């Protein structure tokens, strides 16, 4: 049995400043090579943008820092793997975590474990492990865990972490890593080991993926976004030994991929967690530019201002942005491989509402969640998180355009009114019958722009409708596409990334409810089938020759339980891009 060791260090900073001007709805390395060097550097630095009036800028900065603490420099834990055989009974550390299936918990006529690994541990503990686990009704189901402080082993604590039937699902093993990270936080554990009661039950072809999922879960489970807290505890976890899954160049490659994806996920979480008085459209654009600068060998950035958007006739996008003092910024990053021929051109388009008040159809009443509308740029965060990860992975043969029409939906005398008619950049006119259906208006011009880049496939992501949350709940995103081939590609990528998508119908007959008497269309239909009519609206702005998918991620973008962003969509996007690379 072997383990893998990786060290990491990091510094995380955030300047709580926001831009002012006129005018839902680096981590280069976390894991690394065997015998790793120190890695894991994250920097999220927000700098103020220029303003036209010093008076207004002073007002904006005052509000940007109001109620926020000064940023803390956080030293994240060093997560280590070691390539060495370990006797579980003799392993010395804070927590020995054992992944167990329901089958592993089968007992003999004396209520003792039949599993040899658990038998050996239990024997050393005088039968206390089997006794306590029985009393706690621990059956090994996924999501169950019990951590006990028992004398007799080299470790201070032993934990049994349920993995259900021990299937091959990425979420199972990522959940194992997250459970271990949670146990380490609770116990203030400095070092842990992760192993299995039945390592032989994991097929050889799945051991690399399993190790990667556990490592990802541990890192993501350890991460806490404490930038806006006056006091925060440093993570105690310093090292992790993964035992029984092998080592060598292949696992090194797999862990490197996991580290790159995790860096993108953490970046995406930070963007969504940042409040709207910190993460303005201008700051989001600055962060996008920083990513392009960090990976300038493969990424370039183009940020369009209001005048440039007017030249492109983006009346739909600019109509949403018209009421805010923080000007819109249209973000376009482009990934090109460092060498070789480009065979496929893709676009990832993310909804980028850094705050959504609802406009004149202001969000009111219980359940409107206006206080959470900082998350309305979750699609943009997924797109930019994927850009960060792909900037490190550098896939060959594929060109990727990352597009975000960033703005705020606010209220003022210059704002868009219910009943207004606006014109999108493809010439289609829209009667605005609800200013709170603004995300689709920004995406309309973003999708036209994406098609004009000559791409063959587009995936857009948006926290678009409450209707999708009602239909699928908080953990599953709805996907809409007229292309069976694209549906198969993206859903396959989501399974590899451990995220849940469900294909929804694009019922064309529902378009009747979207017709206007005075314009080409209205921006909302009736209450029924709201997520479907929203997708049908977006379809009007996609070239028929382009394969397109819309992902409504309003449910899984944010965890009510953890009160924080999830980083949803990033794993799926990265996997999908790689499926399209040669």
Checking phi first, is residue 567 left (phi over 0); if not, alpha (psi -120 to 50) or beta? left
Strand order in the sheet with 239-242: 145-148, 155-162, 93-100, 191-196, 239-242
Q: Is 220 helix (H, G, I), strand (E, B) or coil?
A: helix
Q: Which residues pair with 407 in a beta bridge?
A: 353
C-alpha angle 239-240-246 in degrees, rounded to nearest 5: 135
Within 10 angstroms of residue 11's Cβ, the number of other Cβ atoms is: 13
> Quick one: which of 255, 239, 258 has its CA closest to 247?
255
Main-chain dihedrals φ then ψ at residue 47, nearest 5 degrees: -115, 150
How far is the first Cα of the chain from the last one, in angstroms, to the nearest whole number?
35
Within 10 angstroms of residue 473's Cβ, the number of other Cβ atoms is: 12
Largest CA-CA distance found in the chain, in angstroms, rounded: 81
Which one of 440, 457, 500, 539 is the catalytic residue?
Answer: 440
Q: Can you give the length of the chain in residues?
A: 582
Measured CA to CA, the distance from residue 188 to residue 95 in angstroms comes to 10
Measured CA to CA, the distance from residue 354 to residue 20 in angstroms comes to 14
Q: Is 280 helix (H, G, I), strand (E, B) or coil?
A: coil
Which one of 238, 345, 363, 539 is the catalytic residue?
Answer: 363
Beta strand ranges found along 432-559 (DSSP E)? 457-462, 477-480, 501-503, 521-522, 547-552, 558-559
CA 24 to chain centre: 16
Measured CA to CA, the distance from residue 274 to residue 341 in angstroms comes to 38
In the annotation, is 417 catalytic? no
C-alpha angle 66-70-71 in degrees, rounded to nearest 5: 125
Measured CA to CA, the distance from residue 340 to residue 397 in angstroms comes to 7
In the annotation, is 149 catalytic? no
Cβ 75 vs Cβ 27: under 8 Å: no
Cβ 298 vs Cβ 271: under 8 Å: no
Cβ 106 vs Cβ 140: under 8 Å: no
Within 10 angstroms of residue 300's Cβ, the number of other Cβ atoms is: 14
H helix intervals, 156-248: 170-187, 207-222
Measured CA to CA, the distance from residue 189 to residue 361 in angstroms comes to 50
Measured CA to CA, the distance from residue 355 to residue 65 in angstroms comes to 17
Query: Which residue in this structure is represented by tokens 């505890």?
Result: 233
Q: Which residues pair with 501 in a beta bridge?
A: 477
Measured CA to CA, the distance from residue 582 to residue 137 in angstroms comes to 50
Instruction: Just list the catalytic residues.
Output: 363, 440
């Amino acid at each position: 049995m072997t383990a893998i060791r990786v060290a990491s260090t990091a510094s995380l900073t955030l300047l709580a400043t926001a831009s002012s001007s006129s005018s839902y709805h680096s981590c280069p390395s976390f894991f690394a090579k065997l015998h790793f060097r120190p890695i894991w550097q994250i920097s999220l630095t927000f700098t103020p943008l220029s303003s036209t009036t010093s008076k207004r800028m002073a007002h904006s900065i005052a509000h940007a820092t109001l109620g926020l603490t000064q940023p803390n420099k956080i030293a994240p834990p060093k997560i280590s793997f070691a390539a060495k055989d370990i006797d579980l009974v003799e392993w010395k550390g804070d927590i020995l975590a054992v992944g167990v299936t329901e089958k592993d918990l089968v007992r003999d006529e004396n209520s003792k474990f039949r599993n040899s690994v658990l038998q050996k541990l239990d024997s050393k503990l005088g039968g206390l492990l089997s006794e306590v686990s029985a009393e706690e009704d621990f059956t090994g189901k996924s999501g169950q865990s019990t951590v006990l402080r028992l004398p007799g082993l080299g470790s201070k604590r032993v934990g049994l972490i349920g993995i259900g039937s021990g299937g091959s699902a990425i979420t199972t093993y990522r959940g194992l890593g997250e459970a271990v990270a949670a146990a380490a936080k609770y116990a203030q554990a400095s070092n842990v080991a992760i192993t299995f009661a039945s390592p032989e039950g994991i097929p050889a072809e799945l051991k690399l993926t399993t190790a990667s999922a556990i490592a990802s879960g541990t890192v993501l489970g350890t991460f806490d976004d404490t930038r806006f807290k006056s006091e925060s505890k440093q993570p105690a976890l310093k090292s992790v030994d993964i035992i029984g899954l092998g080592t060598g160049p292949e696992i090194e490659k797999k862990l490197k991929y996991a580290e790159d994806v995790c860096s993108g996920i953490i970046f995406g979480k930070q963007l969504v967690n940042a409040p709207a008085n910190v993460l303005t459209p201008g700051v989001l654009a600055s962060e996008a530019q920083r990513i392009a600068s960090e990976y300038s060998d493969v990424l370039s950035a183009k940020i369009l201002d209001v005048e440039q958007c007017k030249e492109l006739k983006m009346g739909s996008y600019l109509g949403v942005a018209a009421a805010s003092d923080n000007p819109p910024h249209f973000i376009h990053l482009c990934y090109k491989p460092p060498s070789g021929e480009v065979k496929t051109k893709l676009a990832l388009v993310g909804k980028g509402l850094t705050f959504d008040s609802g406009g004149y159809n202001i969000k009111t009443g219980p359940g409107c969640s206006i206080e959470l509308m900082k998350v309305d740029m979750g699609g943009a965060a997924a797109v930019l998180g994927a850009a960060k990860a792909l900037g490190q992975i550098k896939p060959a043969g594929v060109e990727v355009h990352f597009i975000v029409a960033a703005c705020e939906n606010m209220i003022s005398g210059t704002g868009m009114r219910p009943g207004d008619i606006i014109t999108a950049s493809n010439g289609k006119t829209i009667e605005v019958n609800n200013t709170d259906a603004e995300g689709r208006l920004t995406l309309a011009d973003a999708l036209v722009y994406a098609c004009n880049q000559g791409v063959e496939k587009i995936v857009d992501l948006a926290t678009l409708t409450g209707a999708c949350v009602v239909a699928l709940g908080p953990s599953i995103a709805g996907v809409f596409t007229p292309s069976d081939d694209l549906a198969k590609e993206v859903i396959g990528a989501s399974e590899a990334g451990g995220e849940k998508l469900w294909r929804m119908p694009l019922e064309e007959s529902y378009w009747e409810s979207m017709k206007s008497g005075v314009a080409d269309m209205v921006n909302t239909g009736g209450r029924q089938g709201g997520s479907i009519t929203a997708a049908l609206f977006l379809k009007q702005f996609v070239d028929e020759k382009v394969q397109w998918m819309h992902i409504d991620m309003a449910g899984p973008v944010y965890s009510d339980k953890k009160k924080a962003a999830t980083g949803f969509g990033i794993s799926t996007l990265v996997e999908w891009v790689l499926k399209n690379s040669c």
